[in-house]
Amino acid sequence: MFYPLLSCNQILCFPLMFPEFRRLTFYLSTHSTAKYSMWSFLPRYLYLQFSKTANAFFLFITILQQIPDVSPTGKYTTLVPLLVILVISGIKEIVEDYVSLLLVNALKNTALNNAWQMILWKEVRIDFDSISFVLFFFSEPQATCFVATSNLDGETNLKIRQALSETATMKTEKQLSNLSGKIKCEEPNFHFNSFAGTLYLNEKSPISIGPDQVLLRGTQLKNTEWILGIVVYTGFETKFMQNAVKSPLKRSKVEKVTNMQILVLFLLLLVMSLVSCVGAIYWKDRYRAEPWYIGKNYDYHSFGFDLLVFIILYHNLIPISLLVTLEIVKYIQALFINWDEDMHFKGSNVYAMARTSNLNEELGQVEYLFSDKTGTLTCNVMTFKKCSIAGITYGPHCSDPQWQFSGSWKRLISCVPFLQPTKEYIKEFLTLLCVCHTVVPEREGNNINYQASSPDEAALVKGAKKLGFVFTTRMPNSVTIEARMSIIVRTPEGRLRLYCKGADSVIYERLSENSLFVEETLVHLENFAKEGLRTLCVAYIDLTEIEYEQWLVMYKKAITVVKDRMKTLEDCYDSIEKFLLLGATAIEDRLQARVPETITSLLKANIKIWVLTGDKQETAINIAYSCKLLSGQMPRIQLNANSLEATQQVISQNCQDLGALLGKENDLALIIDDGKTLKYALHVEVRKCFLNLALSCRTVLCCRLSPLQKAEIVDVVKKQVKAITLAIGDGANDVGMIQTAHVGVGISGNEGMLATNNSDYAIAQFSYLEKLLLVHGAWNYFRVTKCILYCFYKNVVLYIIELWFAIVNGFSGQIIFERWCISLYNVIFTSLPPFTLGIFERCCSQESLLRYPQLYRISQTGDIFNIKVLWIQCINAIVHSFILFWLPAKMLEHGSNFIVFCVCVICMLLFCLQFTHFAIWGSIMIWLGFFAVYSSLWPTVPVAPEMTGQVSVAHVLCPFSLSVSYRIRNTCHRTLLEEVREMESSGVQVLRVLISVTRMFTVHIYLLTASPCFALSDGYAFSQVERAVISQEELVRSYDTTKNKPQKTFSSATLE
């Protein structure tokens, strides 16, 4: 029953009971709300479709065709393919939406009758994806529950929600079933911290409901057995959705170029129409009047009318099927990414997910990679590895793999029972680790699981547990939370003690003068950081009863202060925090599997990697070393300045030092120490200089950045270099940069789903990035670009023929091909080859792409698809169409009299692809079948009288079959030149060179022999030449990558 309630704001519905689940997570599902409903589908869909320029253009043409006498191609020949396109793309939309529809249906089904139902969480989960604002009545143990709101506001600590006292007693179903009333609540809004509602229970006075009684969508229930609640907001009404900034619509570079090219084709169309109009005028002028055989009492058509005729005649130059082909192709490419077993993380059973299919080919062009550190490069699984207590380090040595209880850990434990000078300190230290945190214990039999807001804390508590200090229960309200964490405890002996744990800088500020081990611990801290460990300092102080009482009074006053409460509280805390240093902890965050290998191969692929982290510089550098981002001999430039002037000076100094190397890629690492320096560096005056410096470095490391700065730096680089940027991260603090970058990749890790939900692609491990970029990216790029080129080519080649024909028919607007053949050419006869190109094309095998990341540069530079290539392709197509028209024309001039040629067949073959012969032969069969059927229709069905009997004229095919053989040969050449890359890349290094040299040589010979000596007609020779040149370039380019090798000079010489 809650489905119908989706749209009201004042609702009451059945409480749902969720037994037997540990962690209730309200996930945000991407398809939580279907895009279309049953009724809105058609209007909405049509609106979306016709807001695309190309579709609108074809609609316009269709309307033009309805004007009597204008259209040389009949009234419905554009309408039908357009409908076909719309239907296909509609089916695709429905399929995409189908999942969501299912969800909605499931929702309806779960709410069948007005009854309470006990539903397992597993089943309810789907519902809660969309219904997500739960006002909860009550929970246990003290009508409270813990929630984590990190997905909403980024705060990692647990928060407490408490049920209304009026309903807190209602635990049984009977009590609840007697409950009847209504809830009135405020209109949906996006403020997370406010909620106002009133509960009217029958026969009771109204009770007000505040934010403390509300579970927002996106929060995570922590260590709470079950809750009872009422849904108040659903779907887009939830605060989560109200807050969700529509992630910016990202469009790929290729798409932009394509749109541009469609525009260019439109101009070409206009030019052709104008030329034809002028031709028509010239023709009429030459014959002064129409020849006698056409009849005299005809009106002359105006120039404008002729223009319309020719626009309709040539309008198919713009490939009608391109957009829908691309949509489907990209959809399937995205499915390939989703299906990839190599990107399946067995650990959490998570597959890679392409959340958008717009950017598939963009993955093949990434040049700058911005990576988060924690959780992205590392596992974000913390282990308590070392500590320094009272000036002595405990923990395994770096090289010791058996770290946990071996070596000095044992010594640490064994210290406790013995009388040693540091014994007391060790005890205090471990007690502190046990007590001073926000971790919530969760009992499960004899085991205790710890639920922590930050993995660091869990690591410390677990570490302490292993050392014998077990943390078992927690009472609410007894933990004080602050930037650093302090806690006041009463020890069993009755003494009051203040424990504190926090970042070194914070703790050191607050140490009292008589604190011991300050120097030693500082040295240890530095050592820990150098090893890539995360450090915390711990300290304590004993309080007297009087001090405590005084402080308590102050504290109570402070928390009731309305104005500047935070400030007052802080002062209050500071007043008693004069610590004695105990020591420091060091936590290791291990690197994810295969991170160094991945980074190495990404670097080889000419991808520049920037690490943007909130962590401190030593840790970041260390991680960078261990993942091979930095190497020992790599010179480092370190930026750390406190003012704008200083920053400016340092940067310009460094720029000067680089001199001529500035702007080139150097084997340098740039390290920015903190966010402050970056802030100055990105200042308008310094920015350009800074970017020059940063872009000349191979690796850039930015530490201590805020989420906003991460996004800012991505934005700045994106604008400056005009290259494709990719941002990868796992936490809420990475969302900004993920949304800013051209491509955002989210790692579905420990830190919630926010990054994943805002990303374009979600993967489970950093190392999957390698396959995602080098294989899927490169493949998709090749596929999409070839598909586009093919679509342009096939249309240009066919419809330019109309122009040639116009020359011999006096620019009268006569069509050369039968009208339905033209209109179905795109949607039926030549629909399969682009699909197979887009889906199955492989530039080379997966293994070679992974083994030779250098191959990525081919797609990265985008040289195989830009305006120039498109133009070459168009010119190529024009030449081919010239041949296709004039060759048969000259051949047939002597004998035959046809108005319709079977050129379609040939056109289909011209640009054939490698291995999916099915598509080619399928297309030919379709054409021949269509041809046979279509031409026998008249007079039974009143269409196409001029086609009648053409099938029987077998000799039409005779000369053409020869041309077919040409085309197949052409195909072979194409394949081969593609193959070069694979061959050379899979070959042995030395062999590679040899082969390539021979090949280049061959190509040259080939060029020489091709044109003058042989009997190939020019067009084919041309096409070979053209292909050869492209491939040669590619070949040389892929050689340049082996720069250090001796053959470098040779290959570049060949390039000249």
Partner 1 sequence: MSEKYMWVTCRTRMKRKCQNYESRLPDNTAVKQQQLPAFRLQLTASEILSGFFAIGLFCLGMGIILLLSAKSIKEVEINYTEKCATCAKLREEATNFDKECNCSISFYLPQKMEGNVYLYYKLYGFYQNLYRYILSRSNIQLVGADVKDVRNCAPFRTSDNGLPIAPCGAIANSMFNDTIVLWYNFNSSTHIRVPMVRTETAWWTDKYVKFQNPAFQNLSSAFAGTAKPPNWPKPVYELDENDPGNNGFINDDFIVWMRTAAFPNFKKLYRRLHRIGNFTEGLPAGSYSFIINYNFPVSRFQGQKAVVLSTLTWSGGSSLFLALTYVEP
CB-based contacts of 918, cutoff 8 Å, min separation 6: 832, 836
Site for partner 1 in 951-970 (CB under 8 A): 952-953, 955, 958-959, 962, 969
Asked whether position 349 contacts partner 1 by CB under 8 A, the answer is yes
Asked whether position 278 contacts partner 1 by CB under 8 A, the answer is no
Chosen residue from 274, 850, 928, 1016 binding partner 1 by CB under 8 A:
1016
Query: Residues 687-695: contacts with CB within 8 Å, 24+ apart?
Result: 687/716, 689/648, 689/651, 689/652, 689/655, 690/651, 691/716, 691/717, 691/720, 692/655, 692/662, 692/663, 693/637, 693/651, 693/654, 693/655, 693/658, 693/662, 694/670, 695/608, 695/663, 695/720, 695/721
Site for partner 1 in 885-944 (CB under 8 A): 887, 889-899, 901, 914-915, 938-939, 942
In the complex, the smallest distance separating the C-beta of residue 309 from partner 1, rounded to whole angstroms, is 8
Site for partner 1 in 71-90 (CB under 8 A): 72
Map residues 770-799 to x or -, x wherever contact with partner 1 holds by CB under 8 A: ---------x--------------------
Residue closer to partner 1, measured from CB, 653 or 952 = 952
CA distance 913 to 925: 17
Residue closer to partner 1, measured from CB, 580 or 913 = 913
Q: What are phi and psi of 474, to 5 degrees?
A: -140, 140
Residue closer to partner 1, measured from CB, 340 or 456 = 340
List residues forming the annotated binding site: 372-374, 457, 501, 534, 613-615, 704, 710, 730, 733-734
CA-to-CA dists, residue 210 to 138, 206, 213, 658, 723, angstroms: 14, 13, 6, 61, 49
Sign of CA dihedral 1036, 1041, 1045, 1049: positive
Residue closer to partner 1, measured from CB, 161 or 783 = 783
Asked whether position 225 contacts partner 1 by CB under 8 A, the answer is no
Chosen residue from 340, 615, 618, 1034 binding partner 1 by CB under 8 A:
340
Chosen residue from 206, 291, 347, 476 binding partner 1 by CB under 8 A:
291
Residue 183, beta-bridge partner list: 199
Asked whether position 285 contacts partner 1 by CB under 8 A, the answer is no
CA-to-CA dists, residue 44 to 49, 245, 381, angstroms: 9, 22, 46
892's enclosing H/E stretch is helix 867-893
CA distance 423 to 401: 27
Secondary structure in 3-state letters for 694-719: HHCEEEEEECCCCHHHHHHHHHHHHH
Map residues 829-868 to x or -, x wherever contact with partner 1 holds by CB under 8 A: -----------x-x--xx----------------------
Asked whether position 346 contacts partner 1 by CB under 8 A, the answer is no
Q: How far is CA 243 from the centre of its chain?
A: 20
Site for partner 1 in 232-271 (CB under 8 A): none
Site for partner 1 in 973-992 (CB under 8 A): 975-976, 978-979, 982-983
Alpha helices in 290-369 (DSSP H): 303-314, 322-339
Asked whether position 116 contacts partner 1 by CB under 8 A, the answer is yes
Per annotation, catalytic residue among 129, 306, 372, 456: 372
Residue closer to partner 1, measured from CB, 663 or 959 = 959
Residue closer to partner 1, measured from CB, 599 or 903 = 903
CA distance 83 to 91: 12
Asked whether position 287 contacts partner 1 by CB under 8 A, the answer is yes
DSSP-assigned letters across all residues of 182-242: EEEEPPP---TT---EEEEETTS--EEE-GGGEEPTT-EEES---EEEEEEEEGGGSHHHH
In the complex, the smallest distance separating the C-beta of residue 286 from partner 1, rounded to whole angstroms, is 9
In the complex, the smallest distance separating the C-beta of residue 292 from partner 1, rounded to whole angstroms, is 6
Chosen residue from 479, 816, 828, 912 binding partner 1 by CB under 8 A:
816
Stretch that binds partner 1, among 418-426, 515-523, 694-702, 999-1007 (CB under 8 A): 999-1007
Q: Specify the amino acid at residue 325.
A: T
In the complex, the smallest distance separating the C-beta of residue 818 from partner 1, rounded to whole angstroms, is 12
Asked whether position 566 contacts partner 1 by CB under 8 A, the answer is no
Site for partner 1 in 19-78 (CB under 8 A): 72
CA distance 728 to 839: 26
CA distance 651 to 459: 40
476's enclosing H/E stretch is none
Chosen residue from 40, 66, 165, 177 binding partner 1 by CB under 8 A:
177
Angle, CA 1054 vertex, CA 1050 and CA 1056 arms, to 5°: 120
Asked whether position 302 contacts partner 1 by CB under 8 A, the answer is no
Site for partner 1 in 617-636 (CB under 8 A): none
Tokens of 787: 């598909």
Stretch that binds partner 1, among 175-183, 320-328, 596-604, 632-640 (CB under 8 A): 175-183
Asked whether position 5 contacts partner 1 by CB under 8 A, the answer is yes
Residue 372 a catalytic site member: yes
Return the active site residues: 372
